[in-house]
Amino acid sequence: MALACGDPKSPTEPLVVPEARTVSASDFTFTPSELRIRAGERVTWRNAGGFHNVEADGGGFRCAEGCDHDGGDGAPSSAAWTFSLTFLQPGTVPYFCAVHGAPGGLGMSGRIIVEAGS
């Protein structure tokens, strides 16, 4: 007996695999520095080398080895940390590294552009 979840797909319907949405922090840059996503998608920041964190310009998050709002430590770290966030609302979310950048797109910074879902 076979068990399945969800609706069966027709043989001609393509399987949709979500694209990985990862931003890498290394040296003095975030790569990519601009990422365009749809509302409801999740982005993961990963420290690939250096003493970094990720902080939203508006103070919505500050994360590295955990996040301030989750009881963690959002201070910069040289550990191989990761941080993930799901963006639900359309808009632009600028962010920066507190050590190598500043709000307003100065230095080590980037932005997530969230478009309305379809």
Place 69 in a pLDDT band, splitting at 50, 70 and 90.
confident
Query: What's this model's pTM, rounded to 2 decimal places?
Result: 0.82
Domain extent listing, the chain = 22-115
Q: Is 99 exposed, middle or buried (0-12, 13-18, 19+ CB in 10 A)?
A: middle
Rounded-to-integer distance, Cα 93 and Cα 57, Å: 8
pLDDT tens-digit readout, 74-101: 999 999 999 999 999 999 999 999 999 9
Rounded-to-integer distance, Cα 47 and Cα 23, Å: 9
Rounded to the nearest integer, the mean pLDDT of the chain is 87
| Candidates 1.10.287.610, 3.40.30.10, 2.60.40.420, 3.90.550.10; CATH matching 22-115 | 2.60.40.420
